[in-house]
Structure 1
Amino acid sequence: MLHYEDIVIGTKSSYGKYEVTREEVIEFASKYDPQPFHLDDEAAAQTYFGRLSASGWHTGSMAMRMMVDNMKVNQQAGLGSPGIDELRWLKPVYPGDTLRVEHEILSKRRSKSRPEMGSFVGRTTVFNQNDVAVMTMVSTGLIRVRHPEVVGD
């Protein structure tokens, strides 16, 4: 199981494969982001997107699914996240796209008030099947410290 002590700044990983379907784009948008360009071909054709596109929030949700699936495989001692510092939707995501994730560890630190916990900051980039970045985010993850009694990094 991956703990704070195992995290190495600069480590990069690549994982996931998520096939975006028309049905899911419309279903997600209907529930959470019911703007016409996420629901209707004709309305979408009149916009910047040019055709039906996934909500940015849907893209984030698909990325999250790939991240959680990766954490299950690599058994991370994760404790959640206090949030996202930066989120950018760079390019539209369309039905028929296949997404994947690349992640890089930018920094890490031990909690001063909770010795059993550490945090790390990572940059996540979501790519489509053409290796075009469609979304980026910088977020903080919380993770268990394997040996909280040991002082320091």
Structure 2
Amino acid sequence: MIYFEDLVVGAETEFGSYDVTREEVLEFARKYDPQPFHLSDEAAAKTHFGRLAASGWHTTAMTMAVLARYSVNHEQAGLGSPGIDELRWKKPVYPGDTLTVRGKIVEKTPSRSKPEIGSFRTETTVTNQNGEVVMTFTSIVLIRRRPEGAKD
């Protein structure tokens, strides 16, 4: 189990990848962001996107899927997140792209009011298959501190 005490400021992690499909872009857009450039090749061609583009919120959701799978597979003692800071969609994401999610721990803080937990901030960067940055944000994560007697 990975606890607060195991985190190292400056440590970088590649969390994994996500393949963006046309079907998923359309499904997400129909449900949550039904703007024409997310739903129609013809409408998207008339915009700066040039072709069907994923919603930024979809890009964020795909990124969350990668982060959650990593957390579960690496048995983090995570307790959720109170939010993110500085979310930026830098470049469009298109069907056929492969997104890669990386993070760098930039801060960790033990809780003053709840000694059993701490928090950390990670600068998260999402790139496409060409290494172009498509999204950035700073995540804030709550995590358990190592209980007395727990193994390293």
Instruction: Identify the TM-score tier after normalising by the shorter chain.
Output: over 0.9
* Structure 2 Cα separation of the partners of residues 62 and 140 of structure 1: 18
Question: How far does residue 15 in structure 1 lie from its aligned partner after superposition?
Answer: 2.7
Does residue 140 of the first structure (1) align with residue 152 of the second (2)?
A: no
* Structure 1 Cα separation of the partners of residues 143 and 17 of structure 2: 25
- Aligned to 1:42, the other structure's residue is in SS state helix
**Equivalent residue number for residue 56 of structure 1:** 56
Listed as ranges, the matches of 1:85-124 within 5 Å are 85-124=85-124
Question: How far does residue 17 in structure 1 lie from its aligned partner after superposition?
Answer: 1.8
- Aligned to 1:62, the other structure's residue is in SS state helix
* Structure 2 Cα separation of the partners of residues 8 and 15 of structure 1: 16
Listed as ranges, the matches of 1:1-150 within 5 Å are 1-147=1-147
The superposition leaves residues 79-134 of structure 1 with CA deviations (integer Å, 9 ceiling, x where unpaired) of: 00010111000000000001111100000010000000100011110111011110
Runs of at least 4 residues of structure 1 off by over 6 A?
none
- Aligned to 2:8, the other structure's residue is in SS state coil
Question: How far does residue 147 in structure 1 lie from its aligned partner after superposition?
Answer: 3.7
Aligned residues: 148
The superposition leaves residues 12-65 of structure 1 with CA deviations (integer Å, 9 ceiling, x where unpaired) of: 011312110100000000000000000000000000100000000000000000
Q: Give the TM-score taking structure 2 as reference length.
A: 0.95
Aligned AA for 2:4? Y
* Structure 1 Cα separation of the partners of residues 9 and 94 of structure 2: 33
- Aligned to 1:129, the other structure's residue is in SS state coil
Q: Which runs of 5+ in 2 are unaligned?
A: none
Aligned AA for 2:26? I
* Structure 2 Cα separation of the partners of residues 61 and 5 of structure 1: 28
Aligned AA for 1:26? L
- Aligned to 1:27, the other structure's residue is in SS state helix
* Structure 1 Cα separation of the partners of residues 14 and 136 of structure 2: 14
Aligned AA for 2:74? N
Aligned AA for 1:62? M
* Structure 2 Cα separation of the partners of residues 15 and 115 of structure 1: 28
**Equivalent residue number for residue 151 of structure 1:** none
- Aligned to 1:49, the other structure's residue is in SS state coil
